[in-house]
Structure formats: C-alpha cells, structure tokens
Amino acid sequence: METITENACSWWLRRCLLVVLVSCAATLALAQQRPPAVPLVVYNPYFSIWSEADKLTDQDTKHWTGTRQPLAGLARIDDKTYRFMGAQPRDVPAMGQVSLEVTPTHSIYVFKADGVSLTVDFFTPSFPKDLDVLSRPVTYLTFRAAGQGDHDLSVLIDVDPLIAVNTPDEAVTWGRSRAQGLTVLNAGSRDQRVLNRPGDDLRIDWGYFRLAVPDAAGASFAESHDALSSFAATGKLPEADDLDMPRMPREHAAHLAVVLPMGKVSATPVSRHVLLAYTEDYAIEYLGRKLRPYWQRNNISVQQMLATAESEYPSLEQRAQKFDTELTADLEKAGGKAYAQLAILAFRQTLAAHGFAADFDGTPMLFPKENFSNGCISTVDVLYPSAPFFLFFNPALIEAQLKPVLEYAALPRWRWPFAPHDLGTYPLANGQVYGGGEATEENQMPVEESGNLLIIVAAMGQEQGSWEFARKYWPQFTKWAEYLRDKGLDPSNQLSTDDFAGHLAHNSNLSIKAIEGLAAYAQMARGVGKPEVAQEYARAAAEMAAKWQTMAFDGDHYKLAFDKPGTWSQKYNLVWDRILDFNLFPDKVRQTEMAFYLQHLNQYGLPLDNRKDYTKLDWQIWTATLADSPADFNALLAPIGRWLNEGPTRVPLTDWYDTKNGKEESFQARSVVGGVYIKVLADKQLAAKWRDRIEH
C-alpha cells in the first residue's frame, strides 16, 4: 500500500512537472514567433513582396508566388559592409538579426553589428476605413539607427527590376524623375502590355515601380548593375551609372539603387525613410471596361500621389501606432496571443489579395483574386470566407466586392436560377469561367454561392443598419431564395466551396448554408419592408432546421452526408446562427459537435472531415467560434498556433494544409484568411466598437 502511494505521488509530481514544462514551452513559443512568411510590401496581387525565411538575410525576397523579386539592403558601418536584407552579395557578412515583430501595419526587423543597432521597418498604412490611404500603392521603408560610441553609417537599398516584369526575359526601361520634395527612380517593362492576359501564377508587366527618396535624406542615386558590389567594396555607388543606357532585357537591366547617409550614429537615434510604390494606369477590366485604380479616380498624377504620401508620412505613422496597439490588445483579449498572432498575419494579406478599382462614377470596386487556386476573380465563395474581416472593419468594402457580382448576375447573360461563382480570371472580370461558365450547369456551385450571397448581404445590412443594397438587387435575392427553398435542404450531388474534396450529395454542412441563407433572406425582407415574405421564409428556415437535426444525427455527432452514417465534418456554416441571431438550431447541436471535434484533433489542427487529414485554416476558426467556453476555443486553436510557428510551410499564409505534417496542400496568400476575424465579429460589443471607430 505504501509503495502504491509513493508511485502515485511520483506519477502526480511528474505530471505537474510536465504541465509546467508544456506551459513554459507554449509561452516561449509565443515569445519567439516565427511567421511562415513575413509581409514586407503587400498591396495587391501584383505588388506583393515577402520574406519566406527566419532571417531577412537568409533568402532573396519574393513575390507571393515564390518568384524572386529581390530587394537588397547593405549597411556600411565605419569601413565595413554588412547585409541586412537579401542573400546577395554572399561574400558580404550578414548583420545579426536580433528580433522580428509583425503588427497589423508594420513588419519590423532589428539588426546589430559593430556597436550599431539598425531597425528596418516596412510600413503599409492599410486603414480599412480610409479608402484614399488604403488604395494608395505605397509602402514606407524606414531605417532607425543608434549606436554605442560614434560610428559612421550609411545604408544602401537596391531594387532588381524583376519587380516590374512577369518573366526575366522581358525588356525593361528605367529612369529618374521628380515629385515635390522627392527624387524618384522608376523601372517598368518596355512593352507595357496593359491588362494583356489573365492567369494565376503571373506578375505584372505594365506600369512602373517607383523608389521615391525625400530630398532631406541627402541621398545619392544610381541606375546600375554594379551598385551592390561597388557599395560593398567602397561604401559608395559607381561613379557612372546606366541612366542613359539602351533599354535591355531584364538580365542586363540596371538596378535602382539609393544610398542614405545616416551620419554619425550614437546613442541619439537617427532615422531615414524611402517610399516603395507601384503605379499602373489600369487595374481591372470589368465587363469589357478598363477600370483605373481607385486612388487615380480623380485624375491625380503619380507625382501628386507620391508627394501627398510623403507629406502625410508622420501623421500616418502616428495613426498606425495607435491602430496596431489597440487592435492587437483587442485580438488578444478576444482569443489569446496565438489567435492575435494569426489575425495579425491575416490582416495585410487579406487586403493585398484584392485589386482596388473605381467604377466610371468613382464608386469603389474591390476584386479578390483566388491566388494559387485557379486565379479566378471575384469568386463568391472567396468573398464568403473573407467577409468577417470586412464586416468587422468596414462593411462598405463588402459592398465594393458585391457590386460587380450583383451587376453581372442581373444581366440577361446570367440565365441560371442560382448565383454565379466568379467573374472571370484575374484581372479580367468579363464573365464566369469556372465549371460550366455561362453555358451549362455542369460543375457549378448552385447551393453554395446562392447561400453565400444571401448570408453576406444580410450580415452587411445588419452591420450598416441599411437595407438599400438588398432593395436594389431584390429580384436576384428572391430568385436565389426560391432556389434554396426548393433545392437546399438535401443538396444533390454537387460541389461546395471545398471543391478540392470533390462532388458530394446530401452534404449536411451545405444544407446548413441553405437554411441560414433562407433565414438571411427573411431578415432582408424585414429590412426592405416585406413582413409577409419575411414570415414565410423564416418559417421555411425553421422547418428545414428541425428536419436537418433528424437527417444529420449520428449518435455523438452529426454526419458529413445524410446518407453516410459513421462520417463527420466541421459544421462551420453554423456560426451565422448566433452572429445573425437566427437561433434556428438548439445549443445541443453546437455542443455535441464541439465535444466530438475535441476528440479528433491532430498535431496541427482539426481535419475538415473524416475523409482526409487536411483542413482549412479559415473554417477551423469558424468552427472554434462555435465553442461555448474559452477553454474549448483555445483547445481548437492551440494546434493552429503550433502550426504557425513550427510548421514546414514557409509561404504567405496557406489556408489548406495537412493537420498531421503541417505541409501546404495548395493555396497561399489568399484573402480567405480574413475569415479568422469571425471570432471578433461574433463579439457584438467589440464588433460595434471597430465598426464605429474613427481612425483619423
């Protein structure tokens, strides 16, 4: 008996020690966050540069597709040169990277060498409510330095003209210009094939990259092949540059280079900055019309835009500091540190997966690209998962995404009784290309997209406190609601948004979407003053929800498909039942599912369903938001936090990965990661705060 007690005590002590060690390890992991990829310059699907390494000096910077777009940085401390950005030149030693911090609007690296501390700060002022600033294609690159003792410091930024072409064999032009208070180095493709082709794994090859430097910086400039080697050897740029050289293919094209003298660096910090921008005359083609970027809607010139961006830099930085601090605190309070890290990484990526254009009357139009999926533009089942981000920060941006889709759906050419899937392939939004396109019903997503649009519009109307958008396109919404009432309870063999899983009949989660879609239509009907219609469809939704519970029940959980006992799936569509106050399903449905999910977690997350080990990042957070307790939410989130900081995938956030090995299945840099904001959207008090927040 005594031996048993000792063994029991020993076991208990070992278990307590294990709990402490696990807790400490979790705390350390959060303190040493290692993003899968770091957003550096992220504006739209074409102007999107990332670091996919632990250190900024480990690799060249890349476009989100993985194609090299090198931004290089060298620092000359007294008479010795170091690299702080990029892998070249390899014979130049790297500064020691001390830290990395990613906030909603900043990515901040700190380096040290020879008694000098150098902070390298990429700042993109992506304020969702300030459309003028949000649409401005500018990232500020700021250098702050301090030192022990006095040290001479100068910094070189070198930009490879790959940034302005799709492939290295394209010819490039380059040159120098002026804006008020700025010297501007420019590079662009020679041929300027504007909006020349749609596609997925493509870079832009029209418009111009701009490296703008304030006159006060006292900088020197060069367009040269040899800037890096010259600065590494001497601390200076070549005496002669290639400004007047013939315009060559990219491999012979000059790099854009600027040297910023920081002077004597001591305990008093010194700061310099440059502007990184990309401008093009046309951003999107919509139904045969070429649309200008939103920032250009009032015929503002590039020079005016850059001068304004420079003059507003101090105030934007001040706003951003407040924005980042406040948002980070609210994210941590709502979901913990791991959730905050995820939502922060999703912030700029969500916005940068869109093209931001203006209609002919200046109305904002926002076009998401389905990155590394199929390149579709304005995919409805991409708008749906990203919607929580925009509903939380600025519902007007949802309207800017929906307007092109609803205008297209109202045309006679869209002759189907269900909603469209897409508007084409980015950047050409000239009509659906997915599945049967406009020609056939084959491989369409009829229940999926109809339910998506009804739910999004109802959520937008609730957040805006206005139902004018619903009223404007009421015939379309009525047609889709009628379709869901007829076809939605027990969907036929068809695709859903998780189309990589293939066709599935009797999909119970898709059925939930149809039911919630009918309730959304009823809510819209009340908003537009049609109480009898509202009552009819609310009753239909309630009746279908009651039938669903019997059809889907499978003992300790609910089935993947009504005709497949022993199967299961994440019922992420159920999240709108509480957010939109439908209350169609009793609490026991959520609670039963949650208890089941907690028993099926893998190393890096909860599988999408019983068929495979892969999952979707966005849907996991929707599913976790169904939890009644913070403990259950945290239990589902913990594996995702491990995946963020330990997983093998080093790309801009993927939303489709394997829960056992953490590897990316496909998809990266997509806007759907905005779906992780469902957690804070579900907090009505917090959502109201950010919806009504004044940013200026």
| Cα(402)–Cα(455) distance, integer angstroms | 12
| Cα(2)–Cα(8) distance, integer angstroms | 10
Query: Helix 684-692 and helix 380-393: axis angle, to 10°?
Result: 80
Q: Say which DSSP state 181 is in.
A: T
pLDDT at site 149: 82
Q: Mean pLDDT for the chain?
A: 93
Looking at the DSSP bridge assignments, the partners of residue 274 are 141
The residue-averaged pLDDT of 576-588 equals 97
| 10-14, 50-54, 248-252, 442-446: least confidently modelled range | 10-14
Residue 602 tokens, joined: 């893998």
Residue 581 parent element (H or E): none
Q: 10 Å Cβ neighbour count for 395?
A: 23
Position with higher pLDDT, 24 vs 234: 234
Residue 530 parent element (H or E): none
What one-letter code names the amino acid at 183?
Answer: T
- Residue 200 has φ and ψ, to the nearest 5°, of -100, -65
| Cα(558)–Cα(595) distance, integer angstroms | 11
Residue 331 tokens, joined: 């994210």
The residue assigned the tokens 């189309």 is 499
Contact 175, 243 (CB under 8 A): yes
Residue 42 tokens, joined: 């992220």
The residue-averaged pLDDT of 559-574 equals 98
| pLDDT at 12 > cutoff 90 | no
153 CB burial (10 A radius; 0-12, 13-18, 19+): buried
Predicted confidence band at 252 (pLDDT cuts at 50, 70, 90)? low
Contact 362, 647 (CB under 8 A): no
| Cα(360)–Cα(645) distance, integer angstroms | 45
| pLDDT at 590 > cutoff 90 | yes
The residue-averaged pLDDT of 199-213 equals 97
CA 459 to chain centre: 21
Buried b (16+ CB within 10 A) or exposed e, 96-123: ebeebebbbbbbbbbbbbeebbbbbbbb
| pLDDT at 249 > cutoff 70 | no
| pLDDT at 176 > cutoff 80 | yes
List C-alpha distances in Å: 3 to 14, 16, 119, 221. 16, 20, 60, 80
The residue assigned the tokens 């599945």 is 435
What one-letter code names the amino acid at 664?
Answer: E
Sign of CA dihedral 6, 8, 13, 14: positive
| 17-21, 193-197, 217-221: least confidently modelled range | 17-21
pLDDT of 600-644, one tens digit each? 999 999 999 999 999 999 999 999 999 999 999 999 999 999 999
Long-range contacts of 307-314 (CB under 8 A, 24+ apart): 307/179, 307/180, 307/181, 307/182, 308/136, 309/136, 309/138, 309/212, 309/275, 309/277, 310/179, 310/180, 310/181, 310/182, 310/212, 310/214, 310/275, 311/181, 312/133, 313/140, 313/273
Helices (H), 290-369: 302-311, 313-335, 337-352
| Cα(325)–Cα(81) distance, integer angstroms | 35
| pLDDT at 229 > cutoff 80 | yes
| Cα(36)–Cα(600) distance, integer angstroms | 25
The residue assigned the tokens 């476009």 is 63
| Cα(609)–Cα(606) distance, integer angstroms | 8
Q: Distance from first CA to last CA of the chain, Å, rounded?
A: 72
What one-letter code names the amino acid at 21?
Answer: L
pLDDT at site 253: 83
| Cα(612)–Cα(600) distance, integer angstroms | 12
| Cα(591)–Cα(602) distance, integer angstroms | 20
Residue 656 tokens, joined: 């489709």
pLDDT at site 10: 40
Architecture (CATH level 2) of domain 40-320: Distorted Sandwich (2.70)
Residue 679 tokens, joined: 């957690």
| Cα(95)–Cα(424) distance, integer angstroms | 46
pLDDT of 440-455, one tens digit each? 999 999 999 999 999 9
List C-alpha distances in Å: 198 to 135, 239, 354, 375, 433. 22, 42, 15, 8, 11
| pLDDT at 21 > cutoff 50 | no
208-214 vs 220-224, strand pairing mode: unpaired
Q: Which residues contact 10 (CB under 8 A, 6 or more apart)?
A: none
| Cα(672)–Cα(54) distance, integer angstroms | 25
pLDDT of 32-78, one tens digit each? 579 999 999 999 999 999 999 999 999 999 999 999 999 999 999 99
Taking the model in full, what pTM does it have?
A: 0.94
For the chain, residues classed under CATH 2.70.98 are 40-320
Contact 397, 132 (CB under 8 A): no
pLDDT of 486-535, one tens digit each? 999 999 999 999 999 999 999 999 999 999 999 999 999 999 999 999 99
For the chain, residues classed under CATH 1.50.10.10 are 336-692
**Range list of β-strands (E), 571-663:** 614-616, 656-658
Residue 157 tokens, joined: 């930024």
CA 585 to chain centre: 32
CATH of region 336-692, choose from 3.40.50.300, 3.40.50.1860, 1.50.10.10, 3.30.9.10 = 1.50.10.10
What one-letter code names the amino acid at 358?
Answer: A
DSSP string, 214-236: EGGG--EEEEESSHHHHHHHHSS
| Cα(681)–Cα(340) distance, integer angstroms | 14
CA 213 to chain centre: 28
| pLDDT at 485 > cutoff 80 | yes
Residue 475 parent element (H or E): helix 474-487
